[in-house]
Structures are given as C-alpha cells and as structure tokens.
Amino acid sequence: MTRDEALFEFLLRMGDNTLILGHRVSEWCGHSPVLEEDIALANTALDMIGQTQLWLGLAGEVEGKGRTADNLAFLRDAWDFRNVLMVELPNGDFGQTLMRQFLYDAWSFVMTDWLKGSSDPRIAAIAEKAHKEVTYHLERSGDTVIGLGDGTEESHSRMQAALDYLYPYCGEMFEKDKSDELLAEAGIAPDPTELRPEYDDIVGRVLAEATLAIPGGSYVHKGGRNGRMHTEHLGHLLTSMQWLQRAYPGAAW
Amino acid sequence: MAKPTVDQVWEWLDAVPDPEIPVISLVDLGIIRGVEWQGETLIVSVTPTYSGCPATSIINLDIEIALRGHGIEKLELKRQISPPWTTNWLTEKGRAKLEDYGIAPPQPAGGPSRCPQCHSSNLERISQFGSTPCKATWRCRDCLEPFDYFKCI
C-alpha cells in the first residue's frame, strides 16, 4: 500500500462518516419534537454535508482518477463505503439520535483537534474549519444528553437504553490498521487508539452528569470502517440518498 | 477597456449583497479574502462562512454576474478555506447594518450585548441554531421580541 492509497482510504473514512451521519440526521427535518430542535438538527446535518464536500473532494483529488465529491457520494455502492457502523444505524427516537450525535461529536472533536496539526496542510485546513463547527455540535449534543439523561424517569430510561444500544459501536472509531500506521508514521493522521483517553474523558464527564451508566462488556461492532461488512441499513439509506442518480444516471442540476 | 484597479474591484464587490442577509455586502461579511490580477485574469478568493452554507454557490454566482457586468472577462474564483472564516472579519459598517436590520452582531463574550429592538441587555438564549447556519436564536426579556444573533466563530 502506498501512502496515497492510505490517504485515500483515510479521507473516505472521514467523508463517509460525515456524509452518512449527515444524511441520517437530515431525516429529522420536519419531524423533530419542537421547532428549535428541528432547526438545530437540520443545521447540524448541513455542517456535516459541508464537511463531506471537503473530505471527499480531497479524496477524489488524491485518488487522481477525476472523481469529484459528488461522484464518490452518489456513484458508489455499499461495499465501497468506509463509515463506521454507528452512523448508518436508523435514528431511533429523538433521544437515541442525540446520544449517537454526542458519541460521534466527541470523537470528531478529538480527531479534528489532532488533525489541525497534520503534516499535510490540505488536511490541516479542512480540520481547522470543521473543528469550529464540531465544537458547537458537541456543546449542544452534550447539553441535550445531560438534559434528557438527568431529566424525567421516562427520558432517563430512554437515554440509558440508547447508550446501552450504541456504546458497543464506539470502539470501531478507534480501530487501527495498516493504512492508519502508515499515516501516523508520516504525521498525517493520528494513531486512532491514541485518541481514546481524551474521548473517554469527555464522554465520561458528560454521562456522569447525565446520571447515565456506561455499559460494561468489551464487545465491539465493527466492519464498516474497513469495508468488510456493513449493516443491512446502509443499503436502504443509499437507495434513498442515491435515488436520483440511480434513476437518471448523470442527471445534473 | 483598461484594466480596473484592485481597489475598484473591491468597491464593486462591496455593492454585492449577501444573498441571505441582503443589508450587508459580501465585503462586509468578510468572506472576500483577496483580489488580484494575474496577467489578464482577475483572481477573487472567497472563503465559506460555514462549510455547508448553501449560499456559497449563489455567492459565487452573484460575484461572477456583478464583475462580468462591469466588463471583467477573465475571472477566476478561488475557494480558500484556511485560515477559516471568523466573525472578527465582519466590518464595523456591516455590524452596524446588521443591528439596524434586527440581527444582533457577534460579540467576543459569545452572546449578544443588547436587544436590537429596544437595546435592553436582559436577554435569554432560545437555541444555538437559527434561520441560517451563522445565526442563533435569542429573545429579549423586556420587549419579549425574539431575534437572530450572528453567532461568534
């Protein structure tokens, strides 16, 4: 594996996470419990789609085959996606959506913070932009997790159930393979395992305040990040997200 | 036609309104990061406010229409993402126009300093998010008017 191949893989992982989660969150548009939350979720989704354009745009550039961010988003099938499994799961209820957002935002915050100092200036520039947005996403999702976790009996039990369901998916964000090692050696991207302590610190602090218990057990659901195996849900998501290009190949605005 | 000066081009751009907050210009918003001639081609560098801001492509179109209208033939629009846009780049003129329009301008403290309607400082935040990616929603506890706050990033 060359360094550019590893870089392409890494950029797909970054861009596919924001693309798939951005699409999932956009499904709330018009359905949230109150207007302010609807606007907040739509804005968060929009930021993530914006970050996708930057990550996948650079991925296409690095690959050098003339593929654009749009090509990568709309003309690949499930097995070519490199997002972690957590982001492709259906939204569940509002609490579960916000719990996932928090568990993802905390990782994204630590990741983009590291990437601001990447030895590749193109990555550092994207990370610098994204980090500003992720910072207030995390502030909001963390506050909401605390509000609902330390809320009524009903909201507390739903948030605990969401955490029990989602927590086993978190470990995949810290998986490491050959391409990660290559990029870590070159100072382009971090060794994912090294992000874990800061992540655990943020997540631990917020969940404690939310009076929620981190589930025990060490089982990790994985396979999306390396493309080995996605859940059945990704295919369904893509049929909706890619519908126009599948029905009318090459259609342009 | 003689090549217009860079200052002239800045002046033209200062007359192009932001598509979502039309009381301020693109120059007021601080997103025009550079204007220069490279040979016969005019290069204008533009930075997005938020990475997913849907106004970005409209802004590029508006710039192109305005400059072509002034007779610029060879034009290149460059997207510049670093250093990232910050609300510190809003001009004083832009901040005053925002408040006049009913949008509280950004403050380093992270919240509006006063209600754009009645100037009371008795305020509360309704949501970190608002009608566009760059705004939050606040309310005045005295005149009870909700208002947009241009959030600080």
Which value does ipTM take for this structure? 0.81
- List chain A residues with CB under 8 Å of B151: 136
pLDDT tens string B49-99: 888 888 888 999 999 999 999 999 999 999 999 899 999 999 999 999 999
Q: Domain-by-domain residue ranges, chain B?
A: 6-85, 90-150
**Tens digits of per-residue pLDDT, A140-153?**
999 999 999 999 99
Fold of B6-85: GMP Synthetase; Chain A, domain 3 (3.30.300)
Task: Give A36→chain B minimum CA distance, Å.
Answer: 6
Name the residue facing B50 among A50, A121, A139 (closest C-beta): A50
Instruction: Please provide the average confidence, as pLDDT, over all residues in chain A.
Output: 97
Which strands sit side by side in the sheet containing B32-38, from one edge to the other? Answer: B32-38, B41-46, B75-79
Q: Does A49 touch chain B (CB under 8 A)?
A: yes
Complete domains list, chain A, with CATH: 3-247 (1.20.1260.10)
DSSP-based three-state secondary structure for B77: strand
Q: How far does A80 lie from chain B, in Å, by closest CA?
A: 24
Contact flag B131-A39 (C-beta cutoff 8 Å): yes
Q: A155 — phi, psi (to 5°)?
A: -65, -35
Residue A142 is predicted with a pLDDT of 97
pLDDT score at B1: 65
pLDDT digits 0-9 by tens, A170-201: 999 999 999 999 999 999 999 999 999 999 99
